Amino acid sequence: VVDAQAALFQHHLALAGEHLRSDLERLHAVALEVHDRGQRLGVRVICNFLLGLPGDDIEKIEATIAWARRLDSFAVQFTIATPYPGTTLENRVEMLSALPGDQTGFRPTFRHPHIASETLSMLRERAYVSHYFRPRYALRFARHALPALLEELRAGDVARS
C-alpha cells in the first residue's frame, strides 16, 4: 500500500511539474509578445528580472540572463530577491540582515538554499554586463543618445551667443 501511495504521489508530482512548465512557457510567450509589440510600436521597453528566489539555482539564473539578452530590451533591471517585512518570502527564509537599509535588491539579505551570497551578487553583476556591454546595445544606445546630445550642445551654443 505504501509503495502504491508513493507511486501515486510521484505521478501527481510529475503532472504538477508538467502543468507548471506549461504555465511558465505560456507566461514566457505572453511576455515575449507584449515586449515585441511594444518595440514594434516604438516603445522603449524596460524589463525587470528577479534573481535568487529560493527555488532558483545557478543554471536557472543564467537562463534568465540569457533570456534577457535575447529580448534585447531598451533597458533592464536585475534585482536580487529581497524578503520585505510581512511578505511570504520573509516567512520562508533565514535572514542575513534585518536592517531596513539593506533591503535594496542590490545584495542578498537571506541565506539562499542553493547559491552563496557572493555568487548571487556576481551573477547579478554578470547580468548587467552581459546586457549593456554588447555591440548591438551600444549601437542602439548611440543611435538614440547622439541626436539628443548634439541638440543639447547646439542649444548651449545658441544660449551663449
Tell me: the pLDDT tens digits for 118-160?
Answer: 999 999 999 999 999 999 888 888 888 888 888 888 887 655 5
pLDDT in tens, 58-79: 999 999 999 999 888 889 999 9
DSSP-derived 3-state class of residue 12: helix
Q: Within the chain, how many helices (H) and strands (E) appear?
A: 5, 4
CB–CB of 56/120 below 8 Å? no
CB 52 within 8 A of CB 74: no
pTM above 0.85, yes or no: no
